[in-house]
Amino acid sequence: MTLRVATWNVNSVGARLPRLLGWLASAQPDVVCLQELKCAQDGFPAEELRQAGYEAATHCNGRWNGVALLSRIGLSDVECGLPGEPGYPEDVIEARAVGATCGPLRLWSVYVPNGREVGHPHYSYKLRWLEALRQAAVKDAAGGTPYAVLGDFNVAPTDEDVWDRAVFEGATHVTPAEREALAGLRAAGLDDVVPRPLKYDRPYTYWDYRQLAFPKNNGMRIDLVYGNAPFRSAVRDAYVDREARKGKGASDHAPVVVDLDLDAVTPADAASADAATS
C-alpha cells in the first residue's frame, strides 16, 4: 500500500480555503495535518472538504490556533488534546493537538506554542507543552503501527534550519532548551523522516511575509514530521512544496509531503519501535 501524508500550517483555513482545495486536488494527499486554523468549531469548512473527498477531525476554538486531520482513507479513534497538556493561561487549554487513526496509520497534527520571547511565560509554556508531547509519544510510538507527529513545531532543529543563525541570536525557535525538548522526541522513539539534502538546498518551510523573505529564501524549517521506526522505514520520498507558498493569498508556510510504501515495513521495524520505548 502506498500513501501520501502531508502537514501544512495554513494560517487561517477560511482565508486559505480556495488554495487548500486546489492543492488537495493537485497534490492528492491521503492524509493532511493542518495547523493554525483560526476558526471556531462550527466555522470549519467540513462540507467543502467532504465534497473534495476528505473526512475531518478538528480541534479548534476560534482563537489563534486550531488543528485538524483530513483523511480520505478513514478516520477513527479521534483524540483532542494531549494527556496532561498545560494551558495558557494555566486554566485555558488551547486547541493545539488532534490525533486519529487514518487507515493503517496513527497520526497527530500539532501546533506547538510559539514561545514569543525567551523569559516570557509563553516560552516556559512552550517547553512544558513539548514535554507533554514527549510523554504522549512514549506511549503511542511503541509497537508496530506506523505512527507520526506532524505539524508546526516552532523549533528549528539545527542551525542549518534557519537562513542566518546570527539573526536569531537570543530569540526563540533556536535556543538550546527548545532543541533539547525536540530531541526528547527522538529519545521517545521518533525521528525526523524528511531526508537531507532534499531536491534543493536549505528546505525551509516558513518565510515571513515581510522584507521579501520568500523571494530571498530567508526562511526556517520548523514544520516537521517525526515518525516511529515502522513509519520511517516506509518513507520513500519527502519534499517541501514551495509552489504552494507562491502568489497572492498564500500562507506563510509551505506544505511538507511524505510518500510512504507500507509494504516495505517489516517485523524488524516493529521490533525496533518496541525496543526504542522499552
- What is the residue range of 123's domain? 2-276
Contact by Cβ (8 Å): 2, 77: no
All three cell numbers of 61, joined, read 476554538
Mean pLDDT calculated for residue range 218-233:
97
Lowest mean pLDDT among 17-26, 127-136, 193-202, 243-252: 193-202
* Tens-place pLDDT, residues 35-86: 999 999 999 999 999 999 999 999 998 878 999 999 999 999 999 999 999 9
Q: Is the distance from CB of 111 to CB of 206 less than 8 angstroms?
A: no
Check pLDDT > 60 for residue 273.
no
Of residues 123, 173, 192, 253, which has the active-site annotation? Answer: 253
Percentage above 90 pLDDT, the chain: 87
Q: pLDDT band at 139, cuts 50/70/90?
A: confident
Instruction: Tell me the CATH number at 86.
Output: 3.60.10.10
Which residue out of 30, 152, 161, 223 is catalytically annotated?
152
- State the total domains in the chain: 1
Q: What's the whole-number average pLDDT of the chain? A: 93
- 111 among known catalytic residues: yes
Higher pLDDT, 265 or 53: 53
DSSP bridge partners of 235: 260
Mean per-residue pLDDT, 193-206: 74
**253 is known as an active-site residue:** yes
Which residue of the set 30, 54, 59, 111 is catalytic? 111
Tens digit of pLDDT for each residue in 98-120? Answer: 999 999 999 999 999 999 999 99
Average pLDDT over residues 188-202: 76
145 to 91, 131, 259: CA distances (angstroms): 34, 22, 17
2-9/31-35 β-pairing: parallel
In this predicted structure, what is the pLDDT of residue 264?
83
**Which parts are annotated binding residues for Mg(2+)?**
9, 36, 152, 154, 252-253
Q: Are 34 and 269 in contact (CB under 8 A)?
A: no
Residue whose entry in the numeric block shows the C-alpha cell 494527556? 83
Give the integer Cα–Cα distance in Å for 15 and 38. 9
Q: How far apart are CA 184 and CA 169, in angstroms?
A: 23
Question: What is residue 196's predicted lDDT score, i.e. its pLDDT?
Answer: 62
Average pLDDT (23-38) is 98
